Amino acid sequence: MWFVNMRKKLLLGNWKMNKLASEAKQFAVASSSLVEKAKLHNIDLGVAPTYLSLSIVKENANKDMIVAAQNVHFNSSGAFTGEISIPMLKEFGINWALIGHSERRTYDNETNEKCHAKITALIANDMVPVYCVGETLSQFEANRTKEIVERQVREGLKDLTSALVKNLVVAYEPVWSIGTGKNASTEIAEEVCKFIRDTLKDMFGDVADEIRILYGGSVKPENIRAYLSCPNVDGALVGGASLKIDSYEALLDNIM
């Protein structure tokens, strides 16, 4: 029995704490033709701006551009100073959100349990979670990659059903390669992404073959094609290389 990968490729840029609103608008307007180009090659394009630029990008980008929040709270309202709720995002037409990015886990005490609460709330509101998992350098050097990643997947997605996770996206981001210029080899990326898919299959059955798994970590135009040639890598979550329109277009061109 053989399986043909029909999963649609996804290029998602994470802008982190970058770009003023005026810069975000300029990028959004310039990206419209890229979305049309991507559609011709069956590729989804998206960006995750800061909260302050979400509505501006949504209003000025091609209607088929995915616009994702970088985080969200699991409660719909309440005394949570500095947080943003799902209804607030949906009011502006935002239907995607990153959850559990390593920088959130490192600097903001984002635990697997918090990720689970956020993912559950997003799915209940017909939104798409992009669940980020990955190990630190010390964990990688101690050969604990699969142990750490499996725990993140199982704890973050516990109690969900196969029907609920169909639109989920998982992003494998080895923490030791994010913003460091160090790249996980294509062999490592494929091995871990396949392990994630096998874990999802154990949890949810054949729907795991429909779930898109991205690789992230110092992805650049010159290496993205090699990563996306791996059978279990369906796209990329890109940081710095997604900030400039020329580089973003080069990323797209190199996976078409």
CATH number where 79 lies? 3.20.20.70
Assigned domain for 239 exists: yes
Choice among 101, 103, 110, 116 that is catalytic: 101
Confidence check: pLDDT of 4 > 80 = no
Assigned domain for 1 exists: no
pLDDT band, residue 177 (cuts 50/70/90): confident
Structure tokens at 181: 């210029």
Assigned domain for 92 exists: yes
Choice among 103, 110, 135, 173 that is catalytic: 173
Q: Based on the residue annotation, tell me whether 173 is a catalytic residue of this protein.
A: yes
pTM of the entire predicted model? 0.95
Assigned domain for 3 exists: no
Confidence check: pLDDT of 180 > 70 = no
What is the predicted pLDDT for the residue at 1?
Answer: 33
Higher-scoring residue by pLDDT: 138, 118 = 118
Structural domain count of the chain? 1
pLDDT band, residue 131 (cuts 50/70/90): very high
Q: Based on the residue annotation, tell me whether 101 is a catalytic residue of this protein.
A: yes
Assigned domain for 2 exists: no
Residue 109 domain boundaries? 9-253
